[in-house]
């Protein structure tokens, strides 16, 4: 990245989340911080603090999450300093493309700092293809039911957090329609359940599902972008990639077959590992069902397969499960740490509450005693584990499907698709956000109990 050669006209709006806004140019993206709009007049942090925040993201991703999730899935990127004039022009340029519901926050135009990452929707091709790569982004959310003895409401052990949260969001007008996606189905490792889960992601993508073609977002939540399309136009895009199988009527491949083929390829990619020996996780087999999922258990014809040990889903689930106590069991430990830090403010550094996210941090959370010995070290280790689990519950998976076997490509589309899988959005979650996590948990559960699981 050469700061003096930065031209805002080359960069285009790519997408955004709650914390950052992303612009892309060819094989790279810049991920910029966002602030609450109230703070737009004066920056909430100094340039040094912004730089540190982004460096922390890089360190957390490369030293902590990558070791837990598997290096092969992770691209941590690097912090870059950009000319302020470039950033200001960029912010003006992208403003009208931003979805209205995200505009409660503004892009950081003060620090000039950004995270530079490879553009995962525009993979570098060894051979140019005339069918562009297709990239699917899934934000899977939490894939297990808590089994902690600290859970006070039985419903939390029966209905998964995502499904309960859906009720809350629909009841509060965040989304018009509930998503029928259930993470427990996606993480089950059972192909039928995974297929079912992905079908519901397609039907109601919300912020859990997006499709990019040649680096452009072509399918996402209707509420996110007005020009995003319906299922029919999606099928039109997918058709050239998935024209195979026997499900033809008068040699015409039905839309149903195209969709099934697409979902099948995604399931394969999500279950694939990096090759080599595959150990299957049979412990989780068939154990996790969410009572709110509409998947009919009787439909399972070929048993539960469990997740292959080297699959992206297995690695994410394992990391999510570092939340062993549930927020209800974690909160008292958070309080213990907080009290300790009030009494001994200098301990904040030694205990690495705000980083640095290095090997010592990873060691703290991995060498946690199994029993609570009443120490602050135990509490800190559990808090660190919880925060890592939160990141894994909030990350996204990007599956890039690249046409291969180009020589055989004809008007029927590519002969084969090769896939690569990455994980993105691996920011550390702040220590201070734990109390609000507890409050949110209570609100979600009480809302669910009030409506008895029935949607308004």
Is residue 428 within the footprint of Mg ion (CB under 5 A)?
no
CA Rg value for the chain:
22
Is residue 121 within the footprint of ligand ATP (CB under 6 A)?
yes
Q: How many whole angstroms separate alpha carbon 136 and alpha carbon 209?
A: 7
Is residue 210 within the footprint of ligand ATP (CB under 6 A)?
yes
Give the shortest CB-402-to-ligand ATP separation in angstroms. 15
Q: Which does 424 bind (CB under 5 to 8 A by kind): Mg ion, ligand ATP, none?
A: ligand ATP
Element spanning 421, H or E: strand 416-424
C-beta of 115 vs 444, nearer to Mg ion? 115
Is residue 396 within the footprint of ligand ATP (CB under 6 A)?
yes
C-beta of 102 vs 364, nearer to ligand ATP? 102
Give the shortest CB-139-to-Mg ion separation in angstroms. 6
In Å, how far are 105, 194, 230, 395, 422 from 313, measured between CA atoms? 31, 11, 28, 11, 11
C-beta of 26 vs 92, nearer to ligand ATP? 26
C-alpha 129 chain-centroid distance: 28
Tell me the sheet residues that pair with 116. Answer: 30, 78
Is residue 228 within the footprint of ligand ATP (CB under 6 A)?
no
Residue selected from 32, 120, 317, 381 as contacting ligand ATP according to rule CB under 6 A: 120
- Ramachandran category for residue 245: left, alpha or beta (phi over 0 → left; psi -120 to 50 → alpha): left
Q: Are 33 and 112 in contact (CB under 8 A)?
A: no
In Å, how far are 232, 258, 268 from 235, measured between CA atoms? 5, 7, 20
Q: Which does 356 bind (CB under 5 to 8 A by kind): Mg ion, ligand ATP, none?
A: none
Binding residues for Mg ion, how many (CB under 5 A)? 4
Is residue 17 within the footprint of Mg ion (CB under 5 A)?
yes
Which of 54, 33, 55, 28 lies closest to 44 in space, CA to CA?
A: 33
Helices and strands per DSSP (H, E), number in the chain: 14, 15
Residue selected from 8, 11, 16, 204 as contacting ligand ATP according to rule CB under 6 A: 16
Binding residues for ligand ATP, rule: CB under 6 A, are 14-20, 22, 29, 31, 117-121, 137, 210, 394, 396, 424-425, 427
Binding residues for Mg ion, rule: CB under 5 A, are 17, 19, 425, 427
């Amino acid at each position: 990245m050469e700061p003096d050669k930065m031209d805002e006209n080359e960069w285009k709006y790519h997408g955004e989340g709650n914390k950052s806004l992303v612009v892309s140019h060819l094989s790279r993206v810049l991920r910029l911080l966002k602030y609450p709009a109230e703070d737009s007049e004066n920056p909430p942090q100094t340039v040094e603090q912004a730089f540190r925040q982004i460096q922390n993201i890089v360190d957390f991703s490369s030293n902590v999450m990558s070791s837990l999730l598997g290096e092969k899935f992770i691209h941590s990127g690097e912090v870059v300093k950009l000319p302020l004039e470039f950033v200001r022009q960029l912010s003006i340029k992208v403003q009208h493309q931003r979805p209205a519901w995200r505009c409660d926050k503004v892009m950081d135009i003060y620090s000039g700092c950004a995270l530079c990452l490879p553009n995962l929707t525009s993979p570098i091709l060894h051979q140019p293809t005339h069918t562009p790569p297709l990239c699917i982004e899934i934000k899977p959310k939490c894939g297990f039911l808590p089994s902690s003895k600290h859970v006070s409401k039985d419903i939390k052990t029966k209905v998964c957090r995502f499904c309960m949260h859906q009720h809350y969001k629909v009841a509060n007008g965040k989304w018009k329609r509930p998503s029928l996606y259930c993470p427990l189905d996606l993480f089950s490792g059972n192909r039928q359940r995974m297929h079912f889960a992905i079908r519901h992601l397609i039907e109601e993508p919300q912020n859990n599902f997006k499709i990019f073609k040649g680096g452009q977002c072509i399918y996402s939540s209707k509420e996110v972008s007005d020009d995003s399309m319906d299922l029919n136009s999606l099928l039109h895009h997918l058709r050239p990639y998935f024209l195979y199988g026997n499900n033809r009527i008068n040699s015409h491949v039905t839309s149903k077959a195209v969709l099934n083929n697409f979902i099948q390829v995604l399931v394969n990619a999500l279950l694939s590992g990096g090759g080599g020996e595959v150990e299957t996780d049979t412990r989780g087999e068939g154990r996790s069902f969410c009572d709110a999922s509409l998947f009919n258990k009787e439909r399972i014809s070929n048993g539960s397969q469990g997740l292959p040990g080297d699959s992206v889903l297995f690695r994410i689930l394992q990391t999510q499960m570092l939340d062993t106590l549930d927020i209800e069991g974690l909160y008292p430990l958070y309080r213990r740490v907080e009290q300790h830090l009030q009494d001994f403010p200098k301990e904040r550094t030694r205990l690495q509450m705000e980083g640095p996210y290095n090997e010592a941090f990873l060691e703290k959370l991995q060498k946690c005693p199994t029993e609570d010995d009443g120490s602050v070290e135990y509490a800190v280790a559990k808090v660190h584990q919880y925060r890592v689990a939160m990141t894994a519950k909030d990350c996204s998976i990007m599956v890039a499907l690249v046409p291969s076997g180009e020589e055989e490509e004809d008007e029927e589309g590519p002969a084969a698709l090769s896939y690569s899988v990455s994980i993105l959005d691996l920011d550390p979650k702040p220590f201070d956000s734990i109390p609000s996590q507890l409050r949110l948990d209570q609100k979600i559960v009480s809302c669910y109990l009030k409506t008895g699981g029935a949607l308004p």
